[in-house]
Structure 1
Amino acid sequence: MPVVETPTLHTLLAYTVIIGFAAMVHGTVGIGFPMVATPLLALVTDVRTAILLLVLPTVVINVGNIIKGGRWDRSIAVYWPLAVYGMAGSFVGTRLLVAFPAESFRPLLAAMLVLYLNAERIGVGFGWVRRHPQIAFAFFGLTAGILAGTVNVMLPALVMYALEVRMPKTVMIQVFNFCFLFGKLTQGAVFVQAGLMTSDVVGLSACMAVLGATVMFLGMRIRERIPTATYRRWLRRLLAVLAVMLVVQSLRLWFG
């Protein structure tokens, strides 16, 4: 059974910087914590360990965003099927993550970053989404959940759906965090059942959750002071660099 090795001082420092940075991004723009934290942690450790450590921080950050957003129940009343299908997909994806070697998902993580960066262009042509809303809920919810379970990245599928239904920005942030929350709870349950949520993992993950929540709320306080477009532009550039680095790592592993 895979275990999380005791991190060195340098690794703990890297974890702290990564969690703090990803939480600040999430606090200022409302989304992005797992999208930023997962590939950064995957540069320090393997993909499975990165996802395992991010379960508690992601749950705490998502709950904080849902509560802070206000009137979230109105958004969820319309888009709740996305979260339900996302839970089912997350269960399947996490079982795949537990069953197969962690490094086999590193190229998929890189591909999902590329997909997210091109989501607006790829989204064009999904006109059937508005004509068949129930099918769209199932397709995008399951796809997002499977991606969340395997590489901890739900955003590409959810962004394409939101663009096609012209979802308002505030509603988008609330719905995304709601889907992230229930997908992550499902993933955590699978990890517990598989025996991967050891006391050491929970302890380290809990510390990350406290750090992440603290920094996220600081980010929320400056959300209105710093142009969102600036953060989004730099975030996209960072994700593009991470995608290239993950591809290079995968090629080095494949070819020795």
Structure 2
Amino acid sequence: MDDLGTLLLLSTGAFLIAGTVKGAVGIGLPTTAIGLMTLAIDPRTAIALILVPMIVSNAWQVYRSGEILTAARRYLPFAAALMAGVWVTVSLTANAPDRVLFGVLGVAILIFVAVNATRFAPRIPDAFDRPAQIGFGIVAGVMGGLTSVWAPPMAVYLAARRVPKDEFVRASGLLIFLGSLPLAFGYLREGFVTTPLLLLSLGLLVPTILGFTLGEALRTRLSEEAFRRVLLGVFFLMGLNLVRRAVF
């Protein structure tokens, strides 16, 4: 898309919706924004635009959730594997065609839907927590390095550990924030982030924050279960469309 005005309009709408989703349910910012933007632009540009809002919104989420050092120590193996996986994957897949990114992103979104729709995850006992963190962290890193979306394996791990709601919000914010750092540096190094895209990404903080504020307000007024079902239905259609674009 060469028309900067059209790109600005599209991305502003996408991030307003994505911010609303994150404010309402605590996750889903990159999944929503990229799923919407890739309807009209290439995935590399969409991922470049998500970087600043993703870093800032999750830093804010971590700050508000508190107990940052405790959470960082608890999830250090997952975070280390995630960050390494993202960095290596961005480096090795810099020349991957759009079809591959569409396919992986579509599958990632469909897994995200399945995980949240079924809420099924075998319990991981304390004795196996460290290897589980490393394993899920590597999978999340590979998925994140390709698509910037690593919520599915992260959500499965946290569900399998039976973490309470507040801990889920704290851990997911921390892991998304930490994983977004090597993703941003990798995209800068590979030249996917240009100065105009970086400036636009900074500007997209405004609709993201507005949406986040709206989503927090909606959380107290709408049925969380009804909202979740509608959201998962939309994600399901976006995931199918991305897989379709990867195939033909």
- TM exceeds 0.5? yes
CA change 1:203–1:115 in 2 (3 A) is: same
1:112 and 2:111 correspond: no
Q: 1:10 aligns with which of 6, 24, 27?
A: 6
Residue equivalent to 1:230: 226
- Between the aligned partners of 1:224 and 1:70, the Cα distance in structure 2 is 22
- Between the aligned partners of 2:202 and 2:10, the Cα distance in structure 1 is 16
Deviations 1:211-254 (A, max 9, x none): 212321332244333232222111111111101211222232xx
Query: How many percent of aligned residue pairs carry the same amino acid?
Result: 25
Question: What residue identity is the alignment partner of 1:15?
Answer: S
Residue equivalent to 2:86: 90
Question: What residue identity is the alignment partner of 2:135?
Answer: F
- Between the aligned partners of 2:24 and 2:123, the Cα distance in structure 1 is 31
- Between the aligned partners of 1:25 and 1:41, the Cα distance in structure 2 is 15
Deviations 1:178-237 (A, max 9, x none): 111111111111122223322111111111123212321332244333232222111111
The TM-score, its normalising length taken from structure 2, stands at 0.91
Question: What residue identity is the alignment partner of 1:66?
Answer: V
Task: Give 3-state SS (helix, strand or coil) of 2:219's partner.
Answer: coil
Shift of residue 66, structure 1, vs aligned partner: 1.3
1:192 and 2:194 correspond: no
Q: 2:56 aligns with which of 39, 60, 77?
A: 60
Task: Give 3-state SS (helix, strand or coil) of 2:239's partner.
Answer: helix
- Between the aligned partners of 2:49 and 2:187, the Cα distance in structure 1 is 11
Note if contact 1:111-1:243 (Cα within 8 Å) is conserved in structure 2: yes
Residue equivalent to 2:138: 142
CA root-mean-square deviation: 2.0
Shift of residue 128, structure 1, vs aligned partner: 5.4
Question: What residue identity is the alignment partner of 1:92?
Answer: V
How many matched pairs? 247
Residue equivalent to 2:247: 251
- Between the aligned partners of 2:47 and 2:38, the Cα distance in structure 1 is 9
The TM-score, its normalising length taken from structure 1, stands at 0.88
Q: 2:147 aligns with which of 151, 165, 174?
A: 151
Unaligned runs of 5+ in 2: none
Question: What residue identity is the alignment partner of 2:35?
Answer: P
Residue equivalent to 2:200: 204
CA change 1:200–1:184 in 2 (3 A) is: same
| Match runs of 1:64-83 below 5 Å | 64-83=60-79
1:165 and 2:161 correspond: yes
Task: Give 3-state SS (helix, strand or coil) of 1:170's partner.
Answer: helix
Residue equivalent to 1:45: 41
CA change 1:172–1:122 in 2 (3 A) is: closer
Task: Tell me whether 189-198 or 94-103 shows the greater mean CA deviation.
Answer: 94-103
Note if contact 2:12-2:204 (Cα within 8 Å) is conserved in structure 1: yes
- Between the aligned partners of 1:227 and 1:127, the Cα distance in structure 2 is 28
Unaligned runs of 5+ in 1: none
